Copies of this chain bind each other. A is one copy, B any other.
C-alpha cells in the first residue's frame, strides 16, 4: 500500500498534469517556481520514487552493467569488483555480478542472462579466447564491452596487465640467485595471462637464462586445486626444480599445500614466487615474494572506459587497450642456490 505511488498520484496531489510532474522530477527548466514547489511537496509527502523499470522500458536502457569474472570468492577479483562498483554506482549504474568459474558452458549461459536482463554494457574476462562460440556470443550482444586482462578486438576495449614484464622480473630475480631449474605453473595459454607468462618463460629459456626442460612447465588451469596437482607433478619429476613460479592469482594455496605435503622448506629447499598479493603471501613465514599490481586502479580504469564507450555509443569505434604495470615484490621466499650444486 506504500510502494505503489506513481507519478500519477504525485500529479493528482499537486493538482497538476502528469506531464508537469514528470518535468519537475526530471528537472526540466520550463516550470514555474510555485508549481515546482507544489510538486516537490507532493513528492516528499508521498515518498515518491520513480519506477526504474518503467523508465528503463521507455528509455531502452537499464542502467545496469554486467560483470563476469571467474569467481567472486577470489579476493583479488573481489577487490577488482569493488573498485568497479564504486565508480559505476557513483554514475548511477547497478552491477549484475556473475561468475563463470572458468567453464565455457557456464559463460555462455551467463551471456544469455546478461542479454535477457538487457544490461547496458559489460566488463568481463573469458575462459577461452579461442572458443569461437563464445566469441560469437559476445560479439552478437553488440554492447559496449571492456575485456579484463584479455586483448582488445574489433568490438571491445581492454584493460591488460603486463604479465610478461612481471614474469621476466621474477625470472631474473631467481636467476640472480643462481636458479637454473625453474618451474612455471600457470593456467592455459588459451588466455592472455597464461600466454604472456609462458612467453616470458620461453624468452628466458631462449636467452639461456634458465634450463630448457618441458617437464618444468605446467599450464593447465588457474584454480587452486589444479595448482596442487601441477605442483605435485613438477615436484615429482626426477630432477625437481629449485624454484617455482606460480602464475595465477588463486594458485598459491594449492601450491603451498603440495609443497607442505612433500615437507619442503621455503626458501631453503625451494624458492617460490606468487602472483597477486594477499594476506596469505604477506603473513606466511617466510613471507612470499609476488608479482603484484593495483586492483583498484584496474577496476576504475575498466569502469571509466565502459562509461566513455556508453557515452559515445553510436560513434565509430576504435578499440582502446590500456596496459597496467606489474611489479615484483621481493620478500623472503627465495634463497640462493649454491653455485656448485
Q: List chain A positions with a Cβ less than 8 A from chain B.
A: 2-3, 49-54, 56-57, 62, 71-73, 75, 78-79, 81-82, 85, 89, 94-97, 99, 112-113, 115-118, 140-142, 253, 256-257, 260, 279-280, 282-285
Contacts and interface: CB of A to CB of B under 8 A. Distances in A.
A203 to B, nearest CB: 32
Contact of A97 (B51, B97, B118): B97
Contact of A81 (B54, B72, B118): B72
Nearest to A283: B256
Contact of A279 (B56, B96, B260, B280): B280
Contacts of A94: 96, 113, 117
A49 B82 CA distance: 30
Contact of A142 (B3, B53, B62, B113): B3
A73 B62 contact: no
Nearest to A61: B53
A225 B133 CA distance: 46
Contacts of A141: 3
Contact of A99 (B85, B112, B117, B280): B85
Nearest to A109: B89
Contact of A49 (B79, B85, B115): B115
A49 B116 contact: yes
A90 B285 CA distance: 42
A283 B3 CA distance: 50
A326 to B, nearest CB: 20
A79 B99 CA distance: 12
Contact of A82 (B53, B54, B62, B73): B73
A71 to B, nearest CB: 7
A99 B81 CA distance: 11
A111 B94 CA distance: 13
Contacts of A78: 72-73, 75, 78
Contact of A51 (B79, B85, B118, B282): B118
Contacts of A85: 99
A118 B71 CA distance: 26
Nearest to A72: B78
A72 B62 contact: no
Contact of A280 (B89, B140, B260, B280): B280
Nearest to A56: B53
Contact of A57 (B50, B51, B75, B99): B51
Nearest to A63: B117
A149 B3 CA distance: 27
Contacts of A73: 75, 78-79, 82
A82 B141 CA distance: 25
Contacts of A115: 49
A239 to B, nearest CB: 27
A278 to B, nearest CB: 8
